[in-house]
Amino acid sequence: MSDYVYDLAKKHHSVRKFKPNAIHREVVKKLIEAGQMASTSSYLQTTTVIGVEDVEKKEALKEVSGQPYVLENGYLLVFVIDYHRHQMASNKQDVNLESSFESAEGLLVGTVDASLMAQNIALTAEDMGYGIVYLGSLRNDVMRVREILELPEYTFPLFGMAIGEPAEDEAGTPKPRLPLDHVFHIDGYSHDEQQLEAQIETYDETVSNYYKARTNGERTETWSEQTSQFMNSKQRVEMLEWLQISGFNKK
Ligand SMILES: Cc1cc2nc3c(=O)[nH]c(=O)nc-3n(C[C@H](O)[C@H](O)[C@H](O)COP(=O)(O)O)c2cc1C
């Protein structure tokens, strides 16, 4: 038994400022190998990872995201749900898989698979001394990302990941998470609403103090305030349309 991976996981924080040193493609391939060994629903392996090395393409993806670290990093990955390969594999079989790709279940399977693969890559990269940040901001304009990366039908760009050596002045620290008892329930969902609310209140104070300490008192918001404000604003309302154009979530 060892606490090695536990300690590594507990040290995670997103890195948004990298040294300009490119990560060699051979190292990236090693990361992808580690990612590929993540569990995968029914052995389907529904993920393709696109390494974006072309500076113009990175620039275009930065425009989609609005985040400078999409361009300025050691390496940029984009995680794509991919049933295109299953369509090809099934060509010689007497089957019709469209209804499977196009189901809500197909979308969930693809989303989970890509996320597990990505997190294997994240942890492996962090163990190598790199920092990472996920990039859901690439979904700001899915159609543009489809175009930039020349994605075929039955594929969907789920998120990106910037990887690189953390800059000298990168000052991120692990962010406090919800109390363990709030997210870990035994034998069924806890309906002790009073306790759940009290846990959120305690956590709100922790998060507010965390921001105060990190910003010299400039930021004081609680977790409840932050997440409520975020979820109250309209988020990528075209997503269903973009999913369906890509061949997903039609039934
Ligand atoms: C799927 C996913 C998408 C994310 N997208 C972005 C993003 O577009 N830009 C960004 O700066 N951070 C992004 N993040 C990072 C989260 O903001 C971050 O994980 C969260 O605030 C917790 O902070 P920590 O990773 O430092 O612990 C994303 C994280 C996940 C899991």
- 211-239: pLDDT as tens digits: 999 999 999 999 999 999 999 998 899 99
pLDDT at 251 over 90: no
Average pLDDT on 190-215 reads 97
The H or E element containing residue 135 is strand 131-135
What's the pLDDT score for residue 16?
98
Going from the C-alpha of 4 to that of each of 117, 175, 180, the distances in angstroms are 20, 20, 20
Match 């580690």 to its residue by tokens: 34
What's the pLDDT score for residue 33?
98
| Cα 135 to middle of ligand 1, angstroms | 7
Match 């620290």 to its residue by tokens: 173
Q: Where are the domains positioned within the chain?
A: 4-169+236-245, 180-220
> pLDDT (tens digit, 9 = 90+) per residue, 132-188?
999 999 999 999 999 999 999 999 999 999 999 999 999 999 999 999 999 999 999
- As a dihedral over the C-alpha atoms of residue 95, residue 36, residue 102, residue 157, rounded to 10 degrees, the angle is -140
Ligand 1 contacts (CB < 6 A) are 12-14, 16, 67, 133-137, 159, 175
| Cα 98 to middle of ligand 1, angstroms | 32
| Cα 136 to middle of ligand 1, angstroms | 7
What class has domain 4-169+236-245? alpha beta
> pLDDT (tens digit, 9 = 90+) per residue, 124-146?
999 999 999 999 999 999 999 99
What's the pLDDT score for residue 187?
98
> pLDDT (tens digit, 9 = 90+) per residue, 15-42?
999 999 999 999 999 999 999 999 999 9
What is the Cα–Cα distance from 187 to 114, expressed in whole angstroms? 29
What is the Cα–Cα distance from 125 to 116, expressed in whole angstroms? 14
What is the Cα–Cα distance from 97 to 156, expressed in whole angstroms? 17
Whether 102 and 65 have beta carbons less than 8 Å apart is answered as no
The H or E element containing residue 54 is none
Ligand 1: atom nearest CA of 16 is 11
> pLDDT (tens digit, 9 = 90+) per residue, 70-127?
999 999 999 999 999 999 999 889 898 988 999 999 999 999 999 999 999 999 999 9
What is the Cα–Cα distance from 151 to 48, expressed in whole angstroms? 11
